[in-house]
Amino acid sequence: MRMTDSNILSIKDRSMTDYKTPQFRSVLSALSPNQGAEMLRYGWTKPGIISLAQGEGSMPTPDFIADATYAALKDGKTFYAPVLGVPELRQEISNYYASVFKAAIPTSRIFVTSSGTTAMHLAMTSILDEGDEIIAITPIWKNLLGAIELTQAHCIQVPLEHNAEQGWGLDLNKLFDAVTSRTKAMLIVTPSNPTGWTMTAQEIKTVLDFARERGIWIIADEVYSRIVYEGTRSPSFLDYAKPDDKLFIVNSFSKSYAMTGWRLGWLVGPANSETPVRDLALYDNMGPPTYAQYGAMAALRHGEPFIAEQVKLWKSNLDMVMDRFEKNGRIQMHRPPATFYAFFSVDGEPDCMKLVKSLIDESLLSLAPGCAFGQCCAGWVRMCFAVSEQKMEQALDRLEKVVQKA
């Protein structure tokens, strides 16, 4: 084609439009808003804020974990490690499951990841294609819903039921009725962030049998499995799973071992998952930091007394929260059997974003709005109580400053 002045002008105009402004994937501009992150950032702008909006305790990582990591650094453990984790840590996780869960999980099914969030992304991206359906039991941490959006799968939310006497519960018929011919997977967080709801052993068995018969994957987030107030752990899908079940278990060192900033987690997959997960991890981040994995080994070997110490504090704080809420009268909450979250509603306050913003502006207390956890919880608020007793008392005082007694 002969180049004319008009051709040249057209190319110039197009280049200005196409190349001057950076273009990113359309899925990024289509991501749904994250109201929790929005309010968290807003709270950080206020000097003197008490933030109980994030899910982490106030205890620093214990010395026995930090010391093991420092020793690894001094010993030169600073080079590339195997993508799915150093063999010693994979073995320690296997030992942990044998000891605490009475489950025989070979290291070939255990993959160390740089955070539980990364474990979730690896699980999702290994099975979900654009247009697939995944059912998520809500309320659920917004980041997990965002991870689904990035896969361009279609998410069907099945909300937990709630009543004042029994608290949160799952209607299995509603879960099963949500399944269609396009359903590829179910996403289940148990114990639940933010409600503390925990699947019973019978519910787990029933759901696993249902999914197995239909060839549906289950991605089970069991990050809070050790933060329970009766017993030492929650029921697990691994209690009933077979090695070849379409099942991923996501876990993390963050909560139980006070290692949120370390960004270490792990993934348990079926017997044939090692190669595809390795391929994904290779092109994602090539695995977690080498030296940090030695701290994780110390956590698994010596962490049981620390977990017990934390759970004792959190149970005491939960007692305090329930006592103060009952005396207040306007705040409604069912006592959770697990996790370190108070998920509550306030009589006469249907707009959780408005309430959370008022708490920040009027009392310098930052909490997470319930609408960030799914379509079902627009009138709810989440408060993390994994903090010192003194900080918990201060936070409750600030909450009651805005939410006056009935």
Burial zone of 354 (CB within 10 Å; 0-12 exposed, 13-18 middle, 19+ buried): exposed
- HSE at residue 271, side-chain half, CA atoms within 13 A, is 6
| 49-81 pLDDT tens trace | 999 999 998 899 999 999 999 999 999 999 999
Once rounded to an integer, what is the mean pLDDT over residues 354-368?
Answer: 96
| 375-403 pLDDT tens trace | 888 899 999 999 999 999 999 999 999 99
Q: Give the helix/strand (H/E) hosting 221.
A: strand 217-221
Quote the CA–CA distance of 340 and 82 in Å, as a whole number: 34
Kindly state the tokens that stand for 85.
């984790």
- Pairing between strand 133-138 and 50-51? unpaired
**Residues near 81 by beta carbon (within 8 Å), at least 6 away in sequence:** 287, 288, 290, 293
pLDDT greater than 60 at residue 1:
no
Once rounded to an integer, what is the mean pLDDT over residues 220-246?
Answer: 98
Each residue of 28-47: b (16+ CB within 10 Å) or e?
Answer: eeeeeeebbbebbebbeeee
Helix pair 389-402, 304-328: axis angle to 10 deg: 30
> What pLDDT score was predicted for residue 18?
58
| 4-47 pLDDT tens trace | 555 555 555 555 555 567 888 889 888 888 888 988 898 889 99
Q: Do 266 and 315 touch, CB atoms closer than 8 A? A: no
| 178-194 pLDDT tens trace | 999 999 999 999 999 99
Kindly state the tokens that stand for 369.
């709005």
Q: How many CB atoms lie within 10 A of CB 163?
A: 9
Quote the CA–CA distance of 34 and 146 in Å, as a whole number: 9
> What pLDDT score was predicted for residue 165?
83
> What pLDDT score was predicted for residue 406?
47
C-alpha separations of 313 from 52, 256, 385, 392 in Å: 16, 13, 9, 11
Kindly state the tokens that stand for 383.
């408060």
Each residue of 184-198: b (16+ CB within 10 Å) or e?
Answer: bbbbbbbbbbbbbbb
Q: Give the helix/strand (H/E) hosting 326.
A: helix 304-328
Kindly state the tokens that stand for 237.
């899908």
Q: How many CB atoms lie within 10 A of CB 274?
A: 17
Give me the domains of the chain, ranges plus CATH numbers.
Answer: 31-60+305-402 (3.90.1150.10), 63-302 (3.40.640.10)
> What pLDDT score was predicted for residue 240?
97
> What pLDDT score was predicted for residue 12?
53
pLDDT greater than 80 at residue 173:
yes
Q: How many CB atoms lie within 10 A of CB 322?
A: 16
Kindly state the tokens that stand for 213.
């018969």
Once rounded to an integer, what is the mean pLDDT over residues 68-95?
Answer: 98
C-alpha separations of 398 from 112, 168, 350, 366 in Å: 40, 27, 20, 10
Once rounded to an integer, what is the mean pLDDT over residues 199-227?
Answer: 98
The pTM of the full predicted model, rounded to 2 decimals, is 0.92
Q: Which of 138, 137, 135, 179 is nearest to 154 (CA)?
A: 135
User: E strands, 322-372, where?
Assistant: 331-332, 341-346, 365-366, 368-369
Angle at 24 between CA 22 and CA 29, to 5 degrees: 120
Quote the CA–CA distance of 255 and 116 in Å, as a whole number: 10
Looking at every residue in the chain, the average pLDDT score rounds to 93
| 304-347 pLDDT tens trace | 999 999 999 999 999 999 999 999 989 999 999 999 999 999 99
Quote the CA–CA distance of 368 and 356 in Å, as a whole number: 7
